[in-house]
Chain A
Amino acid sequence: MSVYGVLFYALGGLMLAATTLAVTSRSLVHAVVYLVNAFFATGLLFYLLGAPLLAAFEIIIYAGAIMVLFLFIVMLTRQDKPLAGGVSLMRWLLPGLTSLVSLAAGTALVFSGGATGVPLAPAMASPRDLGRALFSRWWLGVEIVSFLLLVALVGALYLGRAPREGAAAGKSPGDAP
């Protein structure tokens, strides 16, 4: 096994362990910090799979911005008591069973031969290539995502506004003549 293979399995094991700990963690802060680990490992895996720009994006956006946002929300909504019934076994039984069935089917599919057995050759796509593909063939997707970000901004502002004083008196904006 080449050094790339060793790196892949090490990073993959780290991702699985960190994600398991995050998913089963009782404390929200611990879950978020474990998830930062998992996303950092994902970024390195992206680099290993030949996507340096996406590796940087993954660390900046996922491990940086999104997880900091989660941390802010966790800090703002301080829980008085530990999460009730967060890790009870019965709740995990059905999702675990369905996941196992899907995983068994996927494993059978992957190891039944065909195109999935092809070894990946190391390669590196330059950010220039990604930018060119993004803005020539995927320009419509870029436009849609930019519009989506604008809508998300407006929606977050609308949802996060302070409750109005008039709302308590039973007056809603629709009542205006």
Chain B
Amino acid sequence: MIVPFGHVLLLAALLFLMGLSCTIARRNLVMILIGVEIMLNASGLALVASSLRWMSMDGQALTALILGVAASEVTVGLALVMAVRRASGSLDADRQTALKEDDR
């Protein structure tokens, strides 16, 4: 045996909550994206563990799909970060208060 299934779930929950706290508490846009990445990774860990628990390939297949979702999310997210940085000159999420580029 490796470990009880619940321990893997707890590890995944801890990582997910850390990513969530990072997304909520940090103000830097790049750190917010990093928090989202941590959350996606933690959900993948829980899925792989469930795949082993029930001896089914569904969890691993879903994790492979999550990899694609994470890749596209980070691509668009970082492009948005660059666009925001170009528009306002700052990466601080609290400082993005204007909808138009000129009104700041």
Contacts and interface: CB of A to CB of B under 8 A. Distances in A.
A61 B21 contact: no
Nearest to A55: B48
A2 B1 contact: yes
Interface of A: 2, 4-5, 8-9, 12, 15-16, 19-20, 22-23, 28, 31-32, 35, 38-39, 42, 45-46, 48-51, 53-54, 57-58, 61-62, 65-66, 69-70, 73-74, 76-77, 79, 83-86, 91-92, 94-96, 99, 102-103, 106-107, 110-111, 115-123, 125, 129-130, 132-134, 137-138, 141-142, 145-146, 148-149, 151-153, 155-156, 159-160, 163
A77 B91 contact: yes
A-B residue pairs, 5 tightest by C-beta: A152-B72, A133-B57, A116-B6, A145-B68, A110-B6
A120 B21 contact: no
Contacts of B9: 106, 110, 116
14 contacts: A2-B2, A49-B2, A51-B60, A62-B37, A62-B70, A77-B91, A79-B91, A83-B27, A83-B31, A91-B25, A117-B4, A119-B3, A120-B52, A148-B72
Contacts of A134: 61, 64
- The DSSP consensus for interface residues of chain B is helix
Given A35-B37, A73-B81, A133-B57, A85 B27 contact: yes
Between A20, A49, A53, the greatest number of chain B beta carbons within 10 A of the residue's beta carbon is seen for A49
